[in-house]
Structure 1
Amino acid sequence: MKIVNKPFPPPRMARNQTPRAEFLDAHNEALLARCWRDKGDVHARNRLVTSHQALARASAKRAGGKGRELDSDILQHANIGLLKAADRFDPDMGFRFSTYAAWWIRAEIQDYKIRNWSLVVLPNSASSRKLFHNLKRVEARLVAAGDVPPERLVDQIATELAVTPEQVVSMQQRLSAPDGSLNRPVSDDGGTMQLQDLLEDPDADIEKEVVARMDSRTFWITMSAHLKRLSKREQDIIIETYVTDTPKTLDALGERFGVSGERVRQIRESALSRLRVSFATTATT
């Protein structure tokens, strides 16, 4: 007879270390709520809260996102919402505590998320909270449906969420740009320049800067007129190489236009020569 050494499974009661929450029927629930409201019975309040901790845990897990581990901070604020609900619950209104508590738990979690999203304090009005928590969902639904043209997307989101288009744009910018350190390098090329080095100098000559910006604006208006004399492909190559914040490589542009990187370089040099001639002709006329 072959003997297999297998661990003996512990009894079901030993494996379940977490005691099951007390179940409260409507009568006992109302009785505990009245004891806390009328007599300040902390034990009654604790029984009421403890029996609904599964609700707080489920709300915290759902707020953390599908597939993520339970966030202890979110769970803590879910329990805070549960305590706030117990403090304000009126059993004589005729509805169950879980219905009332679910709203307070969700509100507390939402406030926690808004407060911790950014170091910059976000507006905490009812409309701002609604916009913060529903913007991405509404935007994704409208884009997926394809019924709203891109130029009308912001207006449609504002209509559905009962806010102004300016509020939508502001929230989109906040949600798309997380906090970053001012000590972060400007580029990844090993340079020493940091973002804080690019901050505006309060002692700078504002009038001189305004004049420089006006000159720059005039230059780009003129440049735009000269670029229009080139072909569409030549314009794109010049812009993607010299104008955009993240210049494209020759190989990347080659893949885009279906030619080799060397051919892109030739087109670029030819376009630059034509631009120089165009500028020179304008300057002499």
Structure 2
Amino acid sequence: MVKNDINNHQKDDSIESEYNEEKSSEEALTPTIDVAKMYLREIGHSPLLTAKEEVDLSRKAQKGDAKARRKMIESNLRLVVNIAKHYFNSGMDFLDLIEEGNLGLMRAVEKFDPELGFRFSTYATRWIRQMIERAIMNQGRTVRLPVHVAQELQSYRKLARELAKTLDRQPTTNDLTKFVNKSADEIQRVMSLDNNTVSIDAPLFGDDNNASFADFMADDSNIDPVQQIQDDAVICLVDQWLSKLGDLPREVIARRFGLCGYEKSTLKEISKAVKVNCEKVRQIQNFGLRKLRNIVSNSGISREVVG
């Protein structure tokens, strides 16, 4: 009886200890969450730019107009947040992800050429992602490796995962040599540089969804240049088509289907964002889709090209 009381008391202490640890953890996270909410509220006051405003401001920014540059940055901060959300479980603090993304946004403002004919968000998205992914590689790893080595390591692991599906076994380095211009020894040397090789492919979410840290790393060394050019061309085409819809239909379609840096949203979420009732949003969406079909049809480009 006494033994049971002691065990129950120890169990209660353990539960209380776990509760206190969990409470402390929540309290530690609260400042970060509060700051993030404040930041999101603050940037929500900056309206999205029209295509004409982007061109005008970009031209001024290129001539050294600091006010125009600041306006372009402030009006696209929500784009950074939307992109950063995709890397939320990468091991970096969310505000750090946003900060890195903002650096990419600033770089995009400097490099953007408004005469190319596509929207700024299309161009900026690549810079934002690049800066975030490089930061994850540099800061998010338990073992520090040069960026180019981390990219090469990631490309081998990605290839190994794909081969495992077709071979029904774990591929050897000799298997990998058939697909990359490297010897088995060179591949093994790179893969052995990671002293904690399990961690890079371990699930990030603690469940069975198979998402790993490697999935969030840039894979520039394994990109087919021809495919990359085709992808860029399609993105530019879609952006050009959307720009013909008008600002509100463009935003509704972009939000609905996760284009231009937006996340896929429900009609209710879009209604709240654009301050129009759900039925009106649905009508705008249907109007936009009908117009897009006509635009695509008149362009002479086949569905297979767009994918």
Q: Greater Rg, structure 1 or structure 2?
A: 1
Structure number with the bigger relative contact order (C-alpha 8 A, sep ≥ 6) is 2
